[in-house]
């Protein structure tokens, strides 16, 4: 069965995020006052697996081996049946 996977990758709390800092400063220059700015990366793909649990486990392995650096990144995984 095919499953859609979405992985949201963010920096762990306490890690410097220069991109978010730049965005926050640029918004301030435009007279927008915002706080706690953060950025995330979203990776979406479709994979074949026996069931949702197997699909999730494969995506966890992908995150640990390639998509994320577990030392500095947190990630959240969403899996849903492709339906096609």
The model's pLDDT over 21-79, given as tens digits with 9 standing for 90+, comes to: 999 999 999 999 999 999 999 999 999 999 999 999 999 999 999 999 999 999 999 99
**C-alpha torsion 5→50→63→6, nearest 10:** 10
User: Is residue 18 in a domain?
Assistant: no
User: Is residue 27 in a domain?
Assistant: no
The token pair that represents 67 in the structure block: 């998509």
Mean pLDDT to the nearest integer, 10-29: 96
Q: Are 55 and 45 in contact (CB under 8 A)?
A: no
Residue 84 has pLDDT above 80, yes or no: no
User: Is residue 43 in a domain?
Assistant: yes
- Give the number of domains in the chain: 1
What CATH number is attached to the domain comprising 62?
3.30.1280.10
Q: pTM to 2 decimals?
A: 0.88
- For 64, the domain range is 2-13+39-81
User: Is residue 49 in a domain?
Assistant: yes
């Amino acid at each position: 069965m095919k499953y859609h996977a979405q992985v949201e990758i963010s920096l762990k709390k306490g890690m410097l995020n220069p991109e978010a800092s730049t965005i926050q400063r640029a918004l301030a220059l435009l007279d927008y006052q915002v706080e706690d700015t953060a950025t995330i990366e979203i990776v979406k793909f479709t994979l074949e697996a026996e069931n949702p649990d197997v699909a999730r486990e494969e995506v966890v392995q992908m995150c640990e081996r390639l998509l994320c650096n577990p030392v500095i990144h947190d990630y959240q995984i969403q899996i849903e049946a492709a339906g096609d």
